[in-house]
Structure 1
Amino acid sequence: MFINLRLRSPRLALSAVFGLGMLVMHGAHAVPEIQTWRTPTGGKVLFVAAQELPMVDVRVVFDAGSARDGEQPGLASLTAAMLTEGAAGLDADAIAERVEAVGAELGAGVDRDTSYTRLRSLTEPEALEIATDILLKVLAEPNFDASAFERVQQNRLTGLRLAKQDPGSVGRKALYRAIFGAHPYASDPSGTAASVAALTTDDLRAFHNRYYGAANATIAIVGALDRAQAETLAARLTAALPDAEPPPDLPPVPALEQGRMHQIAFPSSQTHLYLGQPGMRRGDPDYFALYLGNHILGGSGLVSQLMEEVREKRGLSYSVYSYFAPLARKGPLVMGLQTQNAQAEAAQQVLLDTLKRFIEQGPTDEELEAAIKNVTGGFPLRIAGNSKIVRYLAVIGFYDLPLDYLDAFPGRIRALSAKQIRDAFRRRVDPERLAVVAVGGSSESGAEAGPEAAQQVGADAVGQD
């Protein structure tokens, strides 16, 4: 979930510069050198100097994702949403006008592990000073104005009501509850209608004071600055943050004891089918083997094994996929597709059979060679541009990954064998202990239940609203 202050008419200069930057970085294909240090107040900084273009990207990340919501689901995401709604006495319009005046971009977002704020600005001194000042205010002095909060809160409640009408949203939320149970990752970042309606601005202030501390911050900077300028920028951004220590580590994610089917009635001619279980964490020793193996299994689009078995051979679904979503603790392994209600059982069986066969046999030599070429050949595009690099820096810093992560990535992929992939999947994936969520069913039963009742059936089946 993210909030983006997208401006109506930013200066054309920044757009042109960014477009040129994509071309420069793509042409260079270079892995950037990462510098790192701590600010005087304890913030962790990762910096890449990119002098080719007069621009800078900044991303400030906190261990303040939805896993820190506790008994108040939606708290982290609403706190982040309110940052750009007013700060240091400025309202949302005043913030937008100042940012727009210098052609900058400002945004905020949340996932299960993190809350973040991001800024893109030209490095021309006056423009950068104004943009930095706004980011500083947003981070350290949010207004949490009652009237603005009521509007944001009502918008969220409307979004939650609409989500109940979307079988995909219903299914994805149910899958996380089924995989993670009582773990904090089970809760959706957007919260529930009841929890969001109960939140107050005092709750948001308390959350901000607890989690938006300098010692809990990771600052990623990429752009046309030297080391001294980057140090000054990072120190300014963290100097006024609350004095709060990093929170304790999240609890481990327990393995599923057994597989379980969750059928959620829904008035739809299509069934949304999701299968999952705890997968891997960031920095996992098996990360590269599981990553490349999944690319072959279901992560590479039309040439994956799942696509071949489900779509090409049997025509059961237009699209089918699998992915690992690593987090600070074990994130999910997810497999999914949409199919006609009458074909749901057959599609589920093909998913399971394909997964079991992959675990038993692994990839062929031809599949492995093609996957390695595809992943390593596309790697330069993944770091083609400051905005992509700054996101990687934030991930590397927040999850304490090695500083040579980007540099080593292609080599780690090329070094993998089919045996290593097969071994990793055999040890880490258990097809007998998958949570299965199917949202759909017969049109008659779904029509009788209706969207609201269908959502309640799903909540009852999984055990949490």
Structure 2
Amino acid sequence: MISSTAIAAPEIQHWQTKNGMDVYFVPAAELPMIDIRLTFAGGSAYDGDTPGLAKLTNAMMSQGADGMSADDISRSFEDVGAQFGQGSLRDMAFMSLRSLSAKEYLDPALDSFTKVLWKPDFPETDFKRLKKQTLIGLKAQLARPGSIATKAFYKAMYGDHPYAQPSSGTEESVTALSIPQLKKFYQKTFVAANGLIAMTGDIDKAKAKSLAERISSGLKKGEAAPKIPAVKRLEKSQRIVIPFPSKQAHVFIGSPGIERGHPDYFALYLANHPLGGAGLSSRLSKEVRDARGFVYSIYSYFSPMASAGPYIIGLQTRGSQVEEAVKVSIEEINKYLKSGPTDKELNESKKNITGGFPLRIASNSDIVQYLAVIGFYDMPLDYLDTFTSKIEAIDKPTLLDAYKRHVKPENFITVIVGGEQG
């Protein structure tokens, strides 16, 4: 049997293009493919007083570019078997391309990709259509208790911080958005100093450098976006109950956790695994779901971001059981804070995490996403190579100390939506 630590992670190479765009590259010659992912500090945390701006700007870039229509762009990728992707999260906006590495396929795919990146047209007709689709989506969220709970949870946890705003915006903010606003956001965000290129595939470093120069050459150098403000720690608990006509209640419990790159990340990742991160074998699932039958599902996780992302305990239960389910969940967390995992839980969690890690970097698409995250959050280049050894090195006192310092149930936000008919 081969130990997980014996499986070498890919070595990450890093440099900058002539106009200052960071590049993160891993060669992978096993398949005749190339995966490229661009990220920019331009997620919804940068919306300011216009929620939905980042997401709509990103979506509009592929609706028309350099005279090509949305259909033209889509067809140009399909004709060479390439896959184009784009999106906007809280911290970042991204664009991705997967293509065959042969020149006859890669060159036309890159040509369309760079047109979308460099010369979006923001056509009026498509803007109106996407605004309408966004507004329809926002109305549809009002019929989903899970969406209502998520928005209320982030708003309660983050208050006036940029993370509090819904990434898709509000009906009022989206209605008010205009094309000049999108163009201004694009011009400020999609610049070399504010982005990076992650790349892996069937090319050597010389070819990767050539591709990176080609991709970045049409971007202005610009300036890096300002850092997202620090998140204030909660000083008291808050309970929010939102009526919704459903049998099932959606519940979120938690508080701000840690930012990406925090020195306690590995200890907290390991600490959460036996509690609520191991699926049906986790302690919360065994105690709240199996032993008492209070919930359909329950889980917990840390979600680090540029500033402190949330620590979330999520569960779904019948309305008649919601109070007991929340009570027992908090009790189990308090028990864990006192004694931590058993030796068996700790050992099994380490084996599960380290044994499964090679599968998380098994494909090029997995690797390119890791490269983008590592670069965007300025994480060590040996992050993938040292992940399992860092997990294995953590002992119970270290784990429990970190968990106690970051998890304060007395300051938890609890949001309950629905369950009135249960």
Q: Which of the five TM-score ranges fits, normalised by the shorter chain? A: over 0.9
| Aligned counterparts of 1:259 and 1:242: Cα–Cα separation in 2 | 46
Q: Which runs of 4+ in 1 moved over 6 A?
A: none
| CA-based RMSD | 1.3
Structure 1 stretch displaced more, 390-399 or 413-422? 413-422
- Measured in 1, the distance between the counterparts of 2:333 and 2:67 equals 55
Pair 1:73 & 2:51 matched: yes
Instruction: Kindly state the Cα deviation for residue 161 of structure 1 after the two structures are TM-superposed.
Output: 0.4
Aligned to 2:251: 273
Distance (whole Å) between structure 1 residues aligned to residue 173 and residue 220 of structure 2: 26
**Out of 111, 114, 129, which is 1:151 matched to?**
129
> Aligned match of 2:384 in 406, 413, 424?
406
The aligned counterpart of 1:131 is: 109
CA positional deviation for 1:63: 0.3
Q: 1:237 aligns with which of 212, 215, 218?
A: 215
In the alignment, structure 1 residue 429 sits paired with structure 2 residue 410: no
Deviations 1:101-147 (A, max 9, x none): 10000010111000000000001112111011111111111110010
Aligned partner of residue 256 in structure 1, secondary structure: coil
Code of the aligned partner of 1:292: L
Among 64, 84, 92, which residue is 1:106 paired with?
84
* In the alignment, structure 1 residue 298 sits paired with structure 2 residue 282: no
Task: Provide the rounded CA distance (Å) in 2 between the counterparts of 1:418 and 1:308.
Answer: 21
The one-character-per-residue Cα deviations of 1:380-418 (angstroms, maximum 9, x if unpaired) are 100011000000000000001000000000000111111
Counterpart contact for 2:20–2:221, Cα < 8 Å: no
Task: State the alpha-carbon separation in 1 of the partners of residues 366 and 221 from structure 2.
Answer: 30
How far apart are residue 240 of structure 1 and its match?
Answer: 1.2
Indicate the residue corresponding to 1:325 in structure 2.
303
The whole-number CA distance in structure 2 between the counterparts of 1:214 and 1:243 is: 5
CA distance in 1, matches of 2:234, 2:21: 36
Q: Do structure 1's residue 119 and structure 2's residue 97 form an aligned pair?
A: yes
Tell me if structure 2 keeps the 8 A contact 1:140–1:242: no
Amino acid at match of 2:234: L
- Residue 219 of structure 1 aligns with which residue? 197
Q: How many Å separate the matches in 1 of 2:207 and 2:326?
A: 55
| In structure 2, C-alpha distance between the alignment counterparts of 1:90 and 1:29, rounded to whole Å | 45
1:247 alignment counterpart: 225
Q: Is the 8 A contact 1:84 1:107 kept in 2?
A: no
SS at match of 1:272: strand
The one-letter code sitting in structure 1 at the alignment partner of 2:112 is: I
Matched, 1:174 2:152: yes
**Map of 2:353 onto structure 1:** 375
Distance 1:149 1:243 in 2: 27
Q: What residue number does 1:187 align with?
A: 165
TM-score by length of 1: 0.88
Residue 257 of structure 1 pairs with residue 245 of structure 2? no
Taking the aligned partners of 1:368 and 1:441, their CA distance within structure 2 comes to 35
Distance in 2, matches of 1:294 and 1:383, equals: 21
Counterpart selection for 1:47 from 3, 9, 25: 25
Cα distance in 2 between the residues matched to 1:442 and 1:163: 18
Letter paired with 1:184: P
Cα offsets for 1:190-240 (capped at 9, x unmatched):
111111111111111000001111111110000111111111111111111
Would the aligned equivalents of 1:29 and 1:384 in 2 still touch at CA under 8 Å?
no
Displacement of 1:185 in angstroms is 0.6
Where in structure 2 are there 5+ consecutive unaligned residues?
none
SS of 2:414's partner is strand
Work out the CA distance in 2 between the residues paired with 1:283 and 1:243: 26
- Aligned pair count? 418
Using the TM superposition, give the Cα deviation of residue 29 of structure 1 relative to its aligned residue in structure 2, in angstroms. 4.8
Structure 1: where are the runs of 5+ without partners? 1-25, 445-465
Q: Which amino acid aligns with 2:184?
A: A
Q: Deviations over 1:71-93 (max 9, x none)?
A: 01011011111121111110011
How far does residue 441 in structure 1 lie from its aligned partner after superposition? 4.5
2:318 and 2:419 in contact (8 A); partners too: no
Give the corresponding residue for 1:416: 394
1:391 to 363, 366, 369: 369
Contact kept, 8 Å, 2:277 with 2:300, in 1: the verdict is yes
Counterpart residue identity of residue 246, structure 1: A
Matching residue within 261, 284, 295 for 1:283: 261
